[in-house]
Amino acid sequence: MTRRILMIVGCLASLSFGCSDAPKGFPKVVSCKITVVQGTKPLNEVDVILLPSSPMNSTMFFGKTDQSGHCQVATTFANYRKNGVPKGTYKVVLDKRPEIELTQTEEHACCAESHSMSRDSLKWQAEIQKQRKKHPQIIPDILTQSSSTPLTLDVSSNGATLAVNLDEYQ
47: domain CATH number is: 2.60.40.10
Q: Where are the beta strands (DSSP E) in 22-107?
A: 29-30, 32-38, 41-42, 47-52, 60-64, 70-72, 74-77, 80-83, 85-86, 88-95
Domain co-membership, 61 together with 90: yes
pLDDT in tens, the chain (170 residues): 333 333 333 443 444 344 457 778 788 999 999 999 999 999 999 999 999 987 776 688 999 999 999 999 999 887 888 999 999 999 999 998 776 665 555 555 555 554 444 556 677 677 767 766 776 778 999 999 999 999 999 999 999 999 999 999 98
Same domain, 71 and 113: no
Are 122 and 57 in the same domain?
A: no
Domain shared by 28 and 49, yes or no: yes
Say yes or no: 19 and 36 in one domain.
yes
CA 24 to chain centre: 25
Same domain, 47 and 128: no
Residue 88 has a pLDDT of 92
As for how many domains the chain has, the answer is 2
Q: How far apart are CA 76 and CA 98, in angstroms?
A: 26
70 and 125 together in one domain: no
Calpha distance 50→159 (Å, rounded): 14
Task: Tell me the Ramachandran region of residue 159: left when phi exceeds 0, alpha when psi lies from -120 to 50, beta otherwise.
Answer: left
User: Do residue 8 and residue 90 come from a single domain?
Assistant: yes
Indicate whether 67 and 117 sit together in one domain.
Answer: no
pTM of the model: 0.69
What's the domain range around 147?
2-98+140-169
